[in-house]
Structure 1
Amino acid sequence: MDKRIKAIKERVEKATPGKWKVEKYYHDEPYEEFIKSAAIVCRNRTITRNDWSNPVMADLEFIANARQDIPYLLKKIEELEQEVMKLTVRLQKGVF
């Protein structure tokens, strides 16, 4: 296994398990439409939170979805590596 893939896999295994999601907190004033802060949470536990106004939602969604996306991608990499190995063996044996 590639060193970088191995390191990514280790980080995934150490991270808080479960589906992460974005929670937005708005200013208390009714005329304020801006987000005051946002957090990435899992089962009511805060993973990370920003306290600046109007965070980039695409960035927050990316962070929250990385918890599910990265394990999926790692699994796909493993499947593809196994398929490459099988095809390599077949090629070496001349079996198509």
Structure 2
Amino acid sequence: MSAVEQRLREIQERVSKASEGPWYVQSPRVASVADGRWEENAEFIAHAREDVPWLLSLLREREEEIRQLRARLIFVHRGYWPYAWNSVPEEIRQECLDAALRGEQP
């Protein structure tokens, strides 16, 4: 299992064990739910500060990978194939990347 998959499983386990909510802030130092899963919820809260930024970073990486792949599909669809991606002028590659960023479909 990859490190990413392991981390996702750990986060999912904390999510599964924590209360579904709704959660309420009773004061700046107290969050409350009705089901009494205090330890599980504390674990979830304690890891949220690290888990959420990590998930956002992973999401951004995946979005960039998708954009790059979509650009290559646009590249092929526009007939630049069989030329290698790196062998065409930068402006053509950039045009395909821009089209992918705009959400253009191949």
Q: TM-score over 0.5 for the alignment?
A: no
Greater RCO structure (CA 8 Å; 6+ sep): 1
- Name the structure with the higher strand share: 1
The TM tier, using the shorter chain, reads 0.3 to 0.5
Q: Which has the larger radius of gyration?
A: 2
- Name the structure with the higher helix share: 2
Q: TM-score, normalised by structure 1?
A: 0.42
Q: TM-score, normalised by structure 2?
A: 0.39
